[in-house]
Amino acid sequence: MSEREIIKEYSNGELTVVWKPKKCIHSGICVQTLPEVYDPNAKPWIKAENASTDALKSQIDLCPSGALSYYIKGENKQEQKTAMEGAKVEVIPNGPLIVQGELEVKLADGSQEAKKRSTAFCRCGASETKPYCDGTHNTIGFKD
């Protein structure tokens, strides 16, 4: 029996933030970008009503793990554009390689996965979810 994925949703009335905790690598980009929305010490930790829909969309598009996504009230979830135009690559100091945009990832076993937003790739070699980052670089003290 497989473990059921936990999915939490938080709405500002127009946009609903979707959080998948198992995908989160705790990069802190959400907290740094919108501290009025994301407070890891509060319950609930996401207060979507504290920001505009545009501000939430911009921040969620920066999430390196894809743990955060969103949908707009009244729109079909599957029709919403979540991919960014073109690909951008950023090396996070002492952390993962972030690729933003639509891409196909061919895994070592030959399977393929479609990624439609930001994807964090492991650079430290210690991730349990290779080729993706799981935040282990923080616990092993990875440095560039």
Domains, in order of start, for the chain: 8-75 (3.30.70.20), 88-140 (3.40.5)
Q: Are 63 and 100 in contact (CB under 8 A)?
A: no
Element (H, E) at 31: helix 29-33
Strand-pairing partners, residue 106, are 112
Residue 62: CA count within 13 A, CB half-sphere: 16
pTM check: above 0.75:
no
Segment 123-140 mean pLDDT: 93
* Predicted local distance difference test score (pLDDT) of residue 117: 76
- Secondary structure element (H or E) that encloses residue 112, with its range: strand 112-115
pLDDT at position 30 over 50 = yes
Q: Are 119 and 98 in contact (CB under 8 A)?
A: yes
Residue 80 has pLDDT above 60, yes or no: no
pLDDT at 3: 63
Judged against a pLDDT cut of 60, whether residue 122 lies above it is answered with: yes
86 — pLDDT class (breaks 50, 70, 90)? low
d(CA 34, CA 61): 13
Pick from 4-8, 100-104, 107-111: least confident: 100-104
Using 50, 70 and 90 to split pLDDT, how confident is the model at 142? very high
